[in-house]
Structure 1
Amino acid sequence: MRYVAPTREAVDPVVFTHAPLSEWGQFGEWLQGKRWPSIDELNARWPSHAPERFAAQTRELLEDGFHYEERIATRGLIATREANWHDLFNAMIWLRYPQLKRALNRQQMAQIMQVGRRERSRPQCAQTHFDEAGVIVTVKDPALLALWDRHDWYSLFWRRRAAWVDGLMAVELFGHALLEHALTPGKLLVGKALAVTVDERVARADALEGCAEAIAEGRWLRDPQELRPLPLSGIPGWHAAGEEEAFHRHAACYQPLREGRRYPAPLDLRSLG
């Protein structure tokens, strides 16, 4: 069933006090203010040298003959529906993670050149899944990756709960649809994740840059099967029920590993340190 976001007036303010929305306070007025931000207000957040700008998605704009991704690549215009949660969150992602967005656009354009505008390749499917519901997960302890590999959610989120607090595993939420779904209190969120192994010497910014390079160069997101499910609601602070052990034994978002399913090796960025 297609998700329908609540109206601006109907959003429960409590959702902005819990992850993931609590981590976007820099855009607090856009999220919790009484009115929607204008396109001009969105554009005012860009650095002066940025090549992109948000553009109201009007009939006139769409009649330019460009595919959505082509318009970004050739005109620097990101078609944006006004007064729309989904597109507002997309704008916020662009402003926080421009290098990742540009990497995706580069690969989307490469695929359009290969298969045309009407077809969708497996790389495009992977890129779209990540754009909508993607998370990047940095892992410092190989034992945690092994738990994830076999979908041992109870151990990953309860027995090793401290790992999420201490930073042995950390999440960068990239998919704007996840932020939209978080507007519904108590909704169980599952991300489509790319795993990255790092050590203490690798800074967050360097890890993100490494991921963007891997995507831009076509080394990542070539197939949807590269993406691992990650039940985000199991992370401490992401779901109220997650403070209780029982949640981690029976949560509906904790799906078993499908027979024969194997995940690719993570991107190894430990050498950056």
Structure 2
Amino acid sequence: MTGPVAVADSGGRRRFIAPARDAVAAGCFDHPLFEPYGAFRDVLRAPDWLAVDHLDARLALPGRRLVEQDAALLADGLHYETRIAERGCIATRARSWHDQFNALVWARYPAIKHALNARQCRHIAAQGPAVRNRAQAALTQFDETGVIVRVRDPALLDAWDRHDWAALFVEGERGWRTGAIAVAGVIGHALMEQALLPERVLVGKCVVVQGGDDAQAVAHTAAMIANGRLLGDPSELRPLPLMGIPGWHARQDLAFYRQADYFRPLRQGRRYPALEM
């Protein structure tokens, strides 16, 4: 595995750099985070990159197509989101883990991606491409690092909202094993990119839905995003230390769950929205 994976950009911010394709072990994709993408194991495990047009043919997205991002494409002057909505073209960089994962999310959860795109375009049309409001920040956070979690046991949600990680993950282990709480969908393509490094601990930004069916939870989330009742502000998203989920990390002893820099305490005054029904 490669070493440093972050560099400073021109503004001094840290930017994640994904490992080279040949540095990623095939077993990486056996992690539960990638389970929803089992139908695309050939794409994930391919020894070399698929050309963008070949990836487009493999995924066959209804009403959308992957188009290689180059100077000719960008010459149209359209915003990334506007181009998708008006021309059906998803600008995709060649040999990019980030953009490959984005394409897979379009294939696996098209209703979610269509809803996110439509909402972004409404905001762009209303205020122009140079201004971003809090709703757009929420939409982007969910697009990049989003996870849909469904919950049947309100006690587990209460523990989560209190950041009582021991109650949620340790005492609540059976709930994760039996489906009283479960990951219904992994949306964040940046989250999957970071998961290429097995030692990395990840935090998902979550929408939480009541119920016991994954497909229904995803469909409900897509509908709520589309009608503007969800993702109006980043504060709606619940952070979840994903490596705390039973079976998601190699070392889940008590010392692991006591790492306060990862399993963070609830910030004073922080409140989460009501459960989506």
TM value normalised by structure 1: 0.92
CA contact (8 A) 1:135 1:193 kept: yes
Give the AA of the match of 2:144: E
Equivalent positions of 1:246-261 (< 5 A) are: 246-250=255-259, 252-261=261-270
Aligned counterparts of 1:69 and 1:241: Cα–Cα separation in 2:
40
Aligned counterparts of 1:26 and 1:204: Cα–Cα separation in 2:
16
Aligned counterparts of 1:218 and 1:130: Cα–Cα separation in 2:
14
Cα RMSD (Å) of the superposition? 1.4
CA contact (8 A) 1:18 1:237 kept: no
- Measured after TM superposition, the shift of residue 22 of structure 1 is 4.8
Structure 1 residue aligned with 2:228? 218
State which drifts further: 8-17 or 156-165. 8-17
Q: Percent identity at matched positions? A: 50
Aligned counterparts of 1:15 and 1:241: Cα–Cα separation in 2:
16
Q: Is 1:186 the equivalent of 2:196?
A: no
Q: Which runs of 4+ in 1 moved over 4 A?
A: none
Structure 1 residue aligned with 2:189? 176
Flag structure 2 segments of 5+ consecutive residues without an equivalent: 1-13
Matching residue within 230, 238, 253 for 2:248: 238
Give the AA of the match of 2:237: L
Structure 1 pair 94–233 and aligned structure 2 pair: CA distance change class (3 A): same
- Measured after TM superposition, the shift of residue 19 of structure 1 is 2.2
Q: Is 1:10 the equivalent of 2:10?
A: no
- Measured after TM superposition, the shift of residue 251 of structure 1 is 5.8
CA contact (8 A) 2:151 2:208 kept: yes
Aligned counterparts of 1:86 and 1:164: Cα–Cα separation in 2:
29
Equivalent positions of 1:53-72 (< 5 A) are: 53-72=65-84
* Residues 130-180 of structure 1: CA deviation (Å, up to 9, x unaligned): 000001110001111100110001110111111111111111211000100
Give the AA of the match of 2:255: A
Q: Is 1:151 the equivalent of 2:163?
A: yes
CA contact (8 A) 2:36 2:186 kept: no
Q: Which has the higher contact order (CA 8 A, sep 6+)?
A: 1
Aligned counterparts of 2:152 and 2:54: Cα–Cα separation in 1:
39
Give the AA of the match of 1:264: P
Give the AA of the match of 2:71: R
Flag structure 1 segments of 5+ consecutive residues without an equivalent: 269-273
User: How many residues matched?
Assistant: 263
Aligned counterparts of 2:27 and 2:193: Cα–Cα separation in 1:
14
Aligned counterparts of 1:23 and 1:251: Cα–Cα separation in 2:
29
CA contact (8 A) 2:148 2:217 kept: no
3-state SS, counterpart of residue 260 of structure 1: coil
Structure 1 residue aligned with 2:275? 266
Structure 1 residue aligned with 2:3? none
Matching residue within 86, 89, 101 for 1:74: 86
